[in-house]
Chains A and B, each alone.
Chain A
Amino acid sequence: MELRPPSYFTLAALIDGPLHGYAIMRRAGELSGGTVRVTTGTLYSIIERATAEGLVTAGQPYLVAGRERRDYVLTPAGRIVLQEEATRLARAARTVSTRLKATGAVAT
């Protein structure tokens, strides 16, 4: 399963433990070095799909300063998908880097 960058970093945000919606958005931004900015709308589309596919589970809602929140947890299936995507990206990066080095196109 190929993940697009917003989905990839949204799932990656949950590696270290459960997070609520806004915290996921911030963590995804940090992990991507600011290249991916997950908006509220995008986040819930990703979560909706990830929940349906069993990659993420949702906790019970709770209130903080009058605002409802809910923590999301990466499931073992979600970890596997994330691991596979990370491997695929690493392999793709390695292949291109090797070719570039071999043809001397990159100054080291």
Chain B
Amino acid sequence: MNRRRLAEVVTRAYPVDLRTERGAELVGTLLDAGEESLVAFVHQLGSVLRAGLAARVRIALTLAPAQIAIYALTWGAVMVVLGSELDLVGFVIHARGQVVLPAGILVTWVLPALVVLAFIMKRSRTCGLLGIALIVLRLALEPLLMSTTWQVAQLVLPVSGFALLIVAPDRIPSSGRWAVVVPTVAFLCFDVTQIGFYSGVDVIVPVLLALCLLPFQPAFAIGTALAWSVPTLIGFIVASGGGGWPTLALIACTPLSVMTAWIGRHQARRG
């Protein structure tokens, strides 16, 4: 990889708007400044990388709280669907295929896959409609899913997230949506390999991952924390322990991510 190519790759650290406006110029200046030696070039590359990431953080953290909340709910809704589907994959793998799925292939596999796909492909309204259809079909085919308050509480996040995708598709940013699969896949890997089971951190692995991305995508981190902790927490409170004791880490992850995003936002606005 030559220097120009390397410079172009590193400038991708900048947000797309800034890159479109000044990307070529930035590469030119970087090449000029790094011409004297390889050390100088690497030093300049580092400065561009740092400044680009800082610009991303500033933009992400200065989003309006309402915007962060809306996006977090939609992330959460899609992650709940993906999570339940991959949970099932894990279950099928553990059971070595010896499992009967009561809801049929359409509701168990096809619709959830389409929901996630529509979200990643930036089809917000389609994703919302498919998500609501999935919930309605699941409830129609498995009425027992609504038999306890704990189970009803589990529906709050997906219903509100998918409703927002239908009602306000234009208010939901479309970049970086592929990241929705990362926490769930990470969880599945831990679950299947049983590493998480023995380490005792499996439940909060996705949240820990999402927290690492908090500066760049606060809504994503909050959405992950919501998808992982809130249903358990609401279920526990509403059903008086019917949903099982949530761990302290699980309880802490949502307030922690919201608090960190708030502090970061405050700092970014001050800076």
Contact = CB atoms under 8 A, between A and B. Distances in A.
Interface of A: 20-22, 25, 39-45, 48, 61, 64, 67-70
Contact of B26 (A25, A40, A42, A64): A40
B29 A61 contact: no
B33 A45 contact: no
B43 A39 contact: yes
B47 A41 contact: yes
A48 B33 contact: no
Contacts of B117: none
Contact of A22 (B22, B32, B47): B32
A40 B55 contact: no
A51 to B, nearest CB: 10
Given A22-B33, A25-B33, A39 B44 contact: yes
B25 interface: yes
A89 to B, nearest CB: 22
B29 A39 contact: no
A96 to B, nearest CB: 28
Contacts of A64: 28
A84 to B, nearest CB: 21
Contacts of A22: 28-29, 32-33
A40 B24 CA distance: 13
Given A21-B32, A67-B32, A40 B25 contact: no
Top 10 closest A-B pairs, CB basis? A41-B51, A41-B47, A39-B47, A67-B28, A21-B29, A22-B32, A68-B24, A68-B28, A41-B48, A68-B25
